[in-house]
Amino acid sequence: MNEAMIKVKSELGSDAVILNSRKIKQPGFFGFLRKKVVEVVAAIDEDYKINTKYSKKSKIEKKLKEEDQPEKNLKKVTNDLTDDRIDKLTQLVMNLESKINQIENKKENVISENVEKKENKFDSYVKMLISKDIREDLADKIMKKVDQRISIESNSKITVLNAIKMVIKDILDQPVMIQSNYNEQKVFMFVGPTGVGKTTTLAKLAAKLSLRENKKVGLITSDTYRIAAVEQLRTYSDILGIPLSVIYEPVELKEAIASFDDKDYILIDTAGRNYKDSTLQEELKGMIKHIKEPEIFLVLSLVADYKNLVNVIKSHDFIKNYKLIFTKFDEAVTFGNILNIKMLSNKKLSYITTGQSVPDDIEVLNTDTLIDIIVGDN
């Protein structure tokens, strides 16, 4: 059409008027190789003649020649044809706009439904994790990682739950334990707030190392603040046949360790102070500097609430590296705090205790079991 308009203007000038246009097919070989072309009927006012170079004269052209006032009639017919074409084009544009709007609305509705569906499923899993005492921000982070691995809205519940388990397993990482094949003497220090079961936990590990792995073990305690704390550990040492040394000041630790130079393992019990006690840090710092490459375990209780656990973590942030032991696993109702504290502290997990029996009720945390407890088959 653009090409035709250029030809009309070049032949008839810019005053030319389009009377009619249509698309036609040129003759082809047995109907093949036909090509559509545009036929345009145009006219100019000069001499009241209609250019017929691109088409045969129409009935309108003949009528214009027969009229007494060809210029007036030509203008009238031209206006009628132009108005009719404008109306048709306007209607066509309106129809197209209507169809486009319908398609866009349908597309937006589908997208909106898919997003809403995805958000609903996403939120339902986040709520499930929160119900297991996992922090909301952590639950949201877990589900975002799941969403990066699989399409939540298009996969079955079992598939999504399995993906959640995989993400949690990556977060928990592989727990560590006391090895039985160190090349040199190792010193282990147990720290944590009062009442979490540090002394009993230490006794359980000492019994395992001594009785089951036939290792030479020595015990040291600095917990002279709690009533009968020393006597409790002394009772264990007597039953197990493991020597115990009691210190009252951090400077005494170096000598106590030296007295156990024939031992494979030395386990140190520290005072269970309130984490708000400012003297705790100074005392522990004083003890740590007298130990060559100590292995430190921070002992926490699973029945403590998250805020208290956070404060304990913060009060021990001066220790560069430590492992986490969770006690009272058997008394806990929910276990999300293991995941919460693991993410908060970014420290390795280690043992859990499952009762008061020495040495049986302690084991390395089984992450698969924990994940099944947290996620289950909901």
**Secondary structure element (H or E) that encloses residue 151, with its range:** none
Taking CA 129 as the corner, what is the angle to CA 124 and CA 135, rounded to the nearest 5 degrees?
Answer: 120
Instruction: Kindly tell me the burial class for residue 29, based on how many C-beta atoms sit within 10 Å of its own C-beta (0-12, 13-18, 19 or more).
Output: exposed
Instruction: Kindly tell me the burial class for residue 324, based on how many C-beta atoms sit within 10 Å of its own C-beta (0-12, 13-18, 19 or more).
Output: buried
DSSP 45: S
CA distance 53 to 68: 25
CA distance 41 to 7: 12
139 C-beta neighbours (distance < 10 Å), count: 22
pLDDT number for residue 266: 97
| pLDDT tens-digit profile, the chain (378 residues) | 778 888 887 788 777 788 778 877 766 555 555 667 888 888 876 554 444 444 444 545 555 455 555 555 555 555 665 667 777 777 777 777 777 877 776 665 555 555 454 567 788 899 999 999 999 999 999 999 998 888 887 788 899 999 999 999 999 999 999 987 888 899 999 999 988 999 999 999 999 999 999 999 999 999 877 767 788 899 999 999 999 999 999 999 999 999 999 999 999 999 877 766 777 778 888 999 999 889 999 999 999 999 999 999 998 989 989 999 999 999 999 999 999 999 999 999 999 999 989 889 999 999 999 999 999 765
CA distance 199 to 302: 16
State the residue for tokens 């298009």. 154
Q: Give residue 28's identity as a one-letter amino acid code.
A: G
Cα separations in angstroms, 70 against 45, 49, 67, 74, 129: 9, 9, 5, 6, 87
Taken in order 307, 311, 312, 318, is the CA torsion positive or negative?
positive
Q: Give residue 315's identity as a one-letter amino acid code.
A: S
pLDDT number for residue 78: 57
Task: Dump strand ranges (E) for the chain.
Answer: 17-25, 36-43, 50-51, 186-191, 217-221, 244-246, 265-269, 295-301, 323-327, 348-353, 362-364
Closest CA to 367 of 232, 169, 233: 169
The tokens describing 207, both together, are 């019994």
pLDDT number for residue 50: 45
Quickly list DSSP for 248-301. Answer: SSGGGHHHHHHTTTT-SEEEEE-----TT-THHHHHHHHHHTTSSS-EEEEEEE
Closest CA to 194 of 267, 268, 266, 280: 280
Taken in order 183, 185, 189, 190, is the CA torsion positive or negative?
positive
- Residue 362 pairs in a beta bridge with 353
